[in-house]
Structure 1
């Protein structure tokens, strides 16, 4: 990684602002209507830049996502506008559309110093596949773009990298702050990681890249189910997440590669019938015997040697909740949290919301993993490349 992880990235903090400028602010709030202290961190992180833009008389069209079009969880965002109005101590209007002629007209009516939050970008199927036409329509909401939302910095989505194909862009303070915060954890080999949760990047980026680099990796959650499959174990009806076959191939390749890493594979897991998760107590099952038909792995027993390895590691990352903690299956989560050193780093919005942790944390999950592994993210690369392109054509 370069000595300065933000080298070549244009920063909003360094750009003078002028009254009447039309800005699209691409945030990454992704918070449910039932806001809590932990859930609002992604909103709070953008408050300083939004206030600075507003105080300078800029006209701000604010974009964000919540949930996903793919699984029907995408919803509307009036709760975010209401919360921002309280935090910023000024009205933040909500316009439920974002890619219609009406949305473009609403953006053109924004007054100096006003902030308007537009509708959830993930109400469009094209958002997550980076549809260029959708990105072009988003770009009609302003003349410049500020990219925040570090939690989505690994996504090549229409409201992320797509906007930068049409508008000059700057990295918001929240994005820059997370990169600087994470940089010390990205230095050098060694250390340990716990990789859990449900998202495929925990396997495709985390497990695939960290096996061979770190001293210890503890698969958990869907990553553990995938690793067990890769080792030939029957996992019954256990959750395998999105892109299960791609994750299986990545897990097999990582397990077959030579390296220094010890990969923890439990001898005992805890299972329940898949249709009774959260309502029935879990029963221990020897993994050598296979998960019973129709049952799902919800927890596991961490071997003592792995807990010792975590407690003594120089750098420890935990990305993704290890077990179905919120459903009451807390054996692995509690054991791992007790073993973690005080300066361990937790990654991901779900992880930091679900687990009782008071140490260092980043609400970026997949984006933090991408940065820690590659030293950059998709959005940082896009900001750099657009800047280089503009210099060449100037």
Structure 2
């Protein structure tokens, strides 16, 4: 259980809120998608309504500890102001006298945004002095950025050790849904893993094989497992360095004491990844992908197989598209999977996560998107959760975990 901010007295308090406004920018530098900002509005509106003094912390891009003019948060603050219909004052620093004076003068029910937190080397280093500088700006700390909560940085962990810490409403929702799916799932529990690199997901696959009833693999990562199983995959994308890990998954599945591992029966292949390429369906039970061709999507028989298994599910976790969905002829598998999950007639818990998964889901249409219980933007954080790994920025907010904040010591340092 997490300490959630709606259980705290925030009136008149300076509240440091870690959000994730790492939004995509187009070539002109304007924001092309503001979904991450919208996700934070519930917590911010709650704090404003309760007369908290809201101080937002975020990063944008990868400035690597130095000031990059194009990555300042001014345009983000402007977009937030428009979305929330009130001013969000942005300052040009994150620690030091100017920031402390701005925080001290902030009125109840007002919003202030610090400069890009990754302009400072101390952020990603989780530097104690930098964390202390941030903590001096606030009375309470709130983490509402699940998508960066797999990283133990100053703004996700260091400051949480120095101030009373709480989960924001969005973070609490993310953790709640994933906990229900993993820790006490309604069965059958099905996990669908796609995407390109199996090395990024091997730990999550292995862990979930010990929890789920079915683990379905698609996308380019399935190529590596298929090759490990002795299948010919032509010139398909394969992680040669992960072949041994893939063999380990197959060996574990063969022992029968874990989830049923389901691989593609057929694949849609072409000589090139282009919309006008000639597509052939390759039946993996009777043949292999020719040397000059590559797998770009799951085939129609695999769609039928996966969909038939999905129909049985009462809990579904989907991370990673099952084909190169960006190109229309190879989006069919991912669209079919999305629609199959969304159309579950039983009252199932269905979760989709990761940037590419969300983009593939968008291709399936609004009806499919609305059919999911929860859509998570926390790709890396979601995978860390599915690995069963500890996430210190979250566990420190637990009612029973290692979450004691060192407020007295911090105050003595001041």
Report TM bin, short chain.
0.7 to 0.9
Distance 2:270 2:92 in 1: 41
User: How far 1:332 moved relative to its partner?
Assistant: 1.5
Give structure 2 stretches of 5+ with no counterpart: 410-414
User: Would you say 1:62 and 2:49 are equivalent positions?
Assistant: no
Distance 1:164 1:253 in 2: 38
1:387 pairs, out of 368, 379, 403, with 403
Matches within 5 A, 1:134-283: 135-186=131-182, 187-188=184-185, 190-198=188-196, 203-231=201-229, 236=235, 238=237, 245=241, 250-257=245-252, 258=255, 259-271=257-269, 277-278=273-274, 281=277, 283=279
User: How far 1:260 moved relative to its partner?
Assistant: 3.9
Distance 1:319 1:98 in 2: 34
Distance 1:292 1:323 in 2: 19
Distance 1:141 1:208 in 2: 42
Q: What is the aligned residue count?
A: 373
User: Would you say 1:112 and 2:128 are equivalent positions?
Assistant: no
TM-score, normalised on structure 1? 0.77
User: How far 1:147 moved relative to its partner?
Assistant: 0.6
Decide whether aligned partners of structure 1 residues 93 and 390 sit closer, same or farther in structure 2, where only a CA change above 3 A counts: closer
User: How far 1:316 moved relative to its partner?
Assistant: 1.9
The equivalent residue for 1:12 is 5
Secondary structure at 1:387's aligned position in 2?
A: coil
The equivalent residue for 1:339 is 340
User: How far 1:98 moved relative to its partner?
Assistant: 3.5
2:213–2:259: 8 Å Cα contact kept in structure 1? yes
User: Would you say 1:351 and 2:390 are equivalent positions?
Assistant: no
Cα deviation per residue 1:136-193 (whole Å; 9 max; x = unaligned)?
Answer: 5544543431111223333323321233233331111222223334443232464212
Distance 1:41 1:368 in 2: 17
Decide whether aligned partners of structure 1 residues 388 and 88 sit closer, same or farther in structure 2, where only a CA change above 3 A counts: same
User: Would you say 1:25 and 2:17 are equivalent positions?
Assistant: yes
After the TM superposition, which of the residue ranges 323-332 and 43-52 deviates more from structure 2? 43-52
Distance 1:119 1:271 in 2: 47
1:148–1:174: 8 Å Cα contact kept in structure 2? yes
Matches within 5 A, 1:41-52: 41-52=35-46
Distance 1:271 1:123 in 2: 44
The equivalent residue for 1:3 is none
User: How far 1:336 moved relative to its partner?
Assistant: 1.7
Secondary structure at 1:177's aligned position in 2?
A: helix
Distance 2:127 2:277 in 1: 44
**For the aligned residues, what is the CA RMSD?**
3.8
User: How far 1:206 moved relative to its partner?
Assistant: 2.7
User: How far 1:91 moved relative to its partner?
Assistant: 0.5
Decide whether aligned partners of structure 1 residues 271 and 88 sit closer, same or farther in structure 2, where only a CA change above 3 A counts: same
User: Would you say 1:361 and 2:374 are equivalent positions?
Assistant: yes
Matches within 5 A, 1:278-297: 278=274, 281=277, 283-284=279-280, 286=282, 289=288, 292=291, 297=295
1:10–1:387: 8 Å Cα contact kept in structure 2? no
Give structure 1 stretches of 5+ with no counterpart: 1-5
The equivalent residue for 2:326 is 326
TM-score, normalised on structure 2? 0.74
User: How far 1:386 moved relative to its partner?
Assistant: 5.0
The equivalent residue for 2:412 is none
User: How far 1:85 moved relative to its partner?
Assistant: 0.9
Decide whether aligned partners of structure 1 residues 17 and 256 sit closer, same or farther in structure 2, where only a CA change above 3 A counts: same
Distance 1:236 1:219 in 2: 19
1:220–1:323: 8 Å Cα contact kept in structure 2? yes
Decide whether aligned partners of structure 1 residues 267 and 49 sit closer, same or farther in structure 2, where only a CA change above 3 A counts: closer
Distance 2:153 2:56 in 1: 16
Distance 1:389 1:111 in 2: 24
Distance 1:149 1:50 in 2: 12
